[in-house]
């Protein structure tokens, strides 16, 4: 990784691990340590925010250049990682970097001491921070290593690598559906591949083979918060366990491309989710106003993970 790029990431709060991985302790983890709230994944799925490692194994590698991405797109590398670090090196490095970052909270009187000690023994790895994890060729082995260590692994992908997705058995697998049709997709994601839409659809089809599968709608007013029938038609075909509808936030470099007024309010996300649920015959089973996100399921059951 170029040193200037590395320094830029570190200024943004990333901690680079090895040649292509990174962690960033999210604001909800910090809030949880101070008993000031928790991430929507804790409310939806029972994952404790203070015990979560927000990470990437492909921090600069992605086949999309989405309008609302928080990354610096000029550094994007649209290719698979070649001769990457080993799964053992990556997982050890991610946990060590995460724990080292947290040490600054040890002397904070506002921090719950019990939670702090628990945070040093993380139980969840979110492979979702930046880039796309499916571009790391040893991802299946890394996920199995995470689970072998008694941790859960949530994988979020943009669906451009369906063949890799078939090989990975994450605790919960997300495919982002950023558009209801190809036209909106091209405008939103600016894909590297000419057949990016077709690749995405193939990845969505893979979801039916996963134990816990999620279709994530990341939506922005004036761009892809539209055509609820189109979204519903695609979701019906892949039959996921969960559907999340989440507002895109104008954070990081996205603030240079997205106006704050374009961010959907929670009321708008909920209205859209209810319409989508009505078409699918699904229920809105949970929501988190602060995160502007709603969760849809056919039935509200078996969604909490315990560890």
Has residue 78 been placed in a domain? yes
Has residue 52 been placed in a domain? yes
Residue 39: give the domain boundaries. Answer: 3-297
CA distance 291 to 287: 9
Residue 252 has pLDDT above 80, yes or no: no
CA distance 60 to 71: 9
Nearest Cα to Cα of residue 165 among 194, 197, 132, 124: 132
What's the pLDDT tens digit per position in 205-222? 999 899 899 999 999 999
Mean pLDDT across 65-89: 86
Nearest Cα to Cα of residue 265 among 239, 252, 282, 247: 247
pLDDT band (50, 70, 90) for residue 11: confident
Has residue 304 been placed in a domain? no
CA distance 120 to 179: 38
The alpha carbon of residue 247 and the mean position of all alpha carbons in its chain are separated, in whole angstroms, by: 13
CA torsion through residues 193, 196, 198, 203, sign: positive
* Residues 6+ away with beta carbon under 8 Å from 139: 57, 127, 133, 155, 164, 167, 168
Has residue 307 been placed in a domain? no
Residue 67 has pLDDT above 90, yes or no: no
CA angle (225 as vertex; 269, 238 as ends), nearest 5: 90
Number of domains in the chain: 1
Has residue 130 been placed in a domain? yes
CATH number, domain at 216?
A: 3.20.20.70
Q: What is the pLDDT of residue 256?
A: 65
Strands ordered across the beta sheet of 283-288 = 15-17, 21-23, 52-56, 124-127, 152-157, 172-176, 213-219, 242-247, 293-297, 283-288
Answer yes or no: are the C-beta atoms of 303 and 285 closer than 8 Å: yes
Kind plus residue range of the DSSP H or E element containing 105: none
Has residue 212 been placed in a domain? yes
What's the pLDDT tens digit per position in 22-51? 999 999 999 999 999 999 999 999 999 999
Has residue 303 been placed in a domain? no
Q: What is the pLDDT of residue 164?
A: 97
Q: Are strands 124-127 and 52-56 parallel, antiparallel or unpaired?
A: parallel
Backbone angles phi, psi at 135, to 5 degrees: -90, 0
Has residue 302 been placed in a domain? no
b/e map 202-226, b = 16+ CB within 10 Å: bbbbbbeebebbbbbbbbbbebbbb
In a 10 Å sphere around its CB, with 0-12 CB exposed, 13-18 middle and 19+ buried, how is residue 69 labelled? buried
């Amino acid at each position: 990784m170029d040193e200037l790029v590395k320094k830029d990431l570190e200024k943004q709060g990333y901690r680079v691990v090895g040649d292509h991985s990174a962690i960033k302790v999210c604001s909800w983890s910090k809030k949880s340590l101070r008993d000031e709230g928790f991430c929507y994944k804790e409310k939806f799925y029972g994952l404790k925010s203070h015990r979560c490692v927000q990470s990437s194994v492909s921090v600069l590698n992605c086949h999309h250049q989405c309008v609302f991405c928080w990354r610096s797109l000029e550094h994007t590398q649209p290719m698979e990682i070649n001769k990457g670090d080993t799964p053992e090196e990556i997982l050890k490095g991610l946990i060590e970097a995460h724990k080292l970052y947290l040490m600054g909270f040890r002397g904070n009187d506002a921090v719950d001491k019990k939670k702090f000690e628990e945070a040093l023994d993380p139980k969840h790895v979110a492979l979702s921070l930046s880039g796309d994890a499916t571009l790391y060729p040893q991802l299946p082995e890394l996920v199995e290593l995470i689970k072998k260590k008694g941790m859960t692994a949530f994988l979020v992908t943009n669906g451009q690598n369906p063949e890799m997705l078939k090989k990975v058995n994450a605790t919960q697998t997300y495919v982002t559906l950023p558009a209801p049709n190809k036209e909106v997709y091209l405008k939103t994601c600016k894909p590297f591949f000419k057949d990016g839409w077709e690749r995405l659809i193939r990845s969505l089809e893979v979801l039916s083979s996963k134990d816990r599968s999620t279709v994530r709608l990341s939506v922005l007013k004036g761009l892809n918060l539209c055509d609820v029938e189109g979204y519903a038609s695609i979701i019906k075909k892949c039959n996921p366990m969960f559907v999340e509808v989440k507002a895109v936030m104008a954070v990081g470099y996205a603030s240079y491309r997205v106006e704050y007024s374009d961010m959907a309010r929670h009321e708008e996300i909920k209205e859209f989710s209810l319409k989508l649920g009505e078409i699918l015959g699904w229920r809105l089973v949970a929501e988190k106003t602060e995160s502007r996100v709603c969760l849809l399921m056919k039935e509200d059951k078996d969604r909490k993970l315990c560890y």
